């Protein structure tokens, strides 16, 4: 087991990516502490982990609220003794964010995803980082997407938000590395299995006059070297590897999970 006896806090744990990563973490032996804003979604993931024999606890936590995050983190430490892994997989609805030309967006609509994602990653990583520095070990995993590096049209403030997270990942890794704490970003391309990507592809399809999200997905797939997009399983298994001691030399970098839409 890659993560035997490790304690992992997951933000956005009721979502597609957060939930998939949580299930793989649990199968690899981690004690998983799920957080999110939707209790029904958290319950579904927690029940799946429990049915598979995994260890899981869940709490409703606002990952954009520092007081809420710190309070929950302290509760986890009281229960588990330490936190080894922090993974932020929060998301927001994309209607009104993507599929709209930049010149038609209000400043509020453009900066909304930047503020939401950048603040949340800062708040959750700060809570984890302080604890992990005192312990001399730990892994903080962030999450972005390919528009952080591509000239992708109609993504609104999402590209800037993801770019900010990647810059933050590098900066934090530079500050925490000497304390034994690793900080790594995962950058998948759109994952067709998720409701969020169905929403995003639908918005883009409508904006450029395609009949459905399937046609836009085909375009996205054609632009990758593998002629497909990543799966939830691939992202989750990669997250487990990055969180494990097998990846102990990896920090301050972005893991390319784009199936070749980006070539480093």
In a domain, 147, yes or no: yes
36 strand-pairing partners: 60
Mapped onto helix, strand or coil, the DSSP state of residue 149 is coil
DSSP assigned state of 227:
S
pLDDT of residue 36: 97
Strand order in the sheet with 181-188: 55-60, 31-36, 7-11, 85-88, 138-143, 181-188, 253-257
Q: Which domain holds residue 179?
A: 7-190+231-255
Helix, strand, or coil (residue 92)? coil
- The verdict on residue 236 lying in a domain is yes
Q: Angle CA(151)–CA(157)–CA(162) in degrees, nearest 5?
A: 70
Quickly count: other Cβ atoms within 10 Å of residue 103's Cβ. Answer: 5
* Alpha-carbon 193 to chain mean position: 15
Note the pLDDT of residue 264. 85
Nearest to residue 63, comparing CAs of 83, 88, 38, 84?
Answer: 88
Residue 211: strand, helix, or coil? coil
How do strand 31-36 and strand 55-60 relate by DSSP bridges?
parallel
**Cα 78 versus chain centre, distance:** 25
* Residue 28 · residue 4 · CB < 8 Å: yes
pLDDT at 14: 96
* Phi, psi dihedrals of residue 150, rounded to the nearest 5°: -100, 155
Residue 263 lies in a domain: no
CA dist 7 and 55 (Å) reads 10
Q: Residue 105: inside a domain, yes or no?
A: yes
Nearest-angstrom CA–CA distance, 217 and 207: 14
- The count of structural domains within the chain is 1
Helices and strands (DSSP H and E) totals, the chain: 8, 7
CATH number of the domain bearing residue 240: 3.40.50.720
In a domain, 220, yes or no: no
How many angstroms separate the CA atoms of 82 and 181, rounded? 13
Q: How many CB atoms neighbour CB 130 within 10 A?
A: 12
pLDDT digit of tens for each residue in the chain (264 aa)?
999 999 999 999 999 999 999 999 999 999 999 999 999 999 999 999 999 999 999 999 999 999 999 999 999 999 999 999 999 999 999 999 999 999 999 999 999 999 999 999 999 999 999 999 999 999 999 999 999 999 999 999 999 999 999 999 999 999 999 999 999 999 999 999 999 999 999 999 999 999 999 999 999 999 999 999 999 999 999 999 999 999 999 999 999 999 999 998
Q: Is 215 inside any structural domain?
A: no
Q: Is residue 261 part of a domain?
A: no
CA distance from start to end of the chain? 30
- Residue 174's pLDDT is 98
Domain annotation covers residue 204: no
């Amino acid at each position: 087991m890659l993560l035997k006896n490790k304690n992992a806090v997951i933000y956005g744990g009721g979502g597609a990516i957060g939930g998939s990563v949580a299930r793989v973490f649990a199968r690899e032996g981690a004690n998983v502490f799920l957080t999110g804003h939707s209790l029904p979604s958290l319950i579904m993931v927690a029940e799946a982990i429990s049915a598979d024999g995994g260890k899981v606890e869940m709490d409703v936590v606002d990952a954009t609220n520092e007081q809420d995050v710190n309070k929950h983190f302290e509760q986890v430490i009281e229960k588990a003794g330490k936190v080894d892994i922090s993974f932020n997989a929060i998301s927001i609805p994309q209607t009104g964010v993507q599929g709209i030309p930049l010149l038609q967006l209000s400043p509020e609509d453009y900066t909304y995803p930047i503020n939401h994602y950048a603040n949340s990653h800062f708040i959750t990583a700060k809570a984890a980082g302080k604890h992990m520095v005192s312990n001399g070990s730990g892994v903080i995993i962030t999450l972005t997407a390919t528009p952080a590096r591509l000239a992708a049209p109609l993504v609104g403030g999402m590209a800037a938000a993801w770019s900010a997270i990647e810059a933050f990942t590098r900066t934090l890794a530079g500050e925490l590395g000497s304390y034994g704490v690793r900080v790594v970003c995962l950058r998948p391309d759109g994952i067709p299995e998720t409701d969020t990507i169905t929403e995003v592809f639908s918005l883009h399809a409508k904006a450029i006059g395609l009949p459905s999200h399937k046609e836009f997905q085909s375009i996205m797939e054609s632009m990758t070297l593998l002629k497909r997009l990543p799966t939830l399983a691939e992202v989750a298994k990669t997250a487990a590897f990055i969180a494990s001691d097998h990846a102990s030399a990896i920090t301050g970098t972005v893991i390319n999970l784009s199936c070749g839409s980006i070539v480093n």
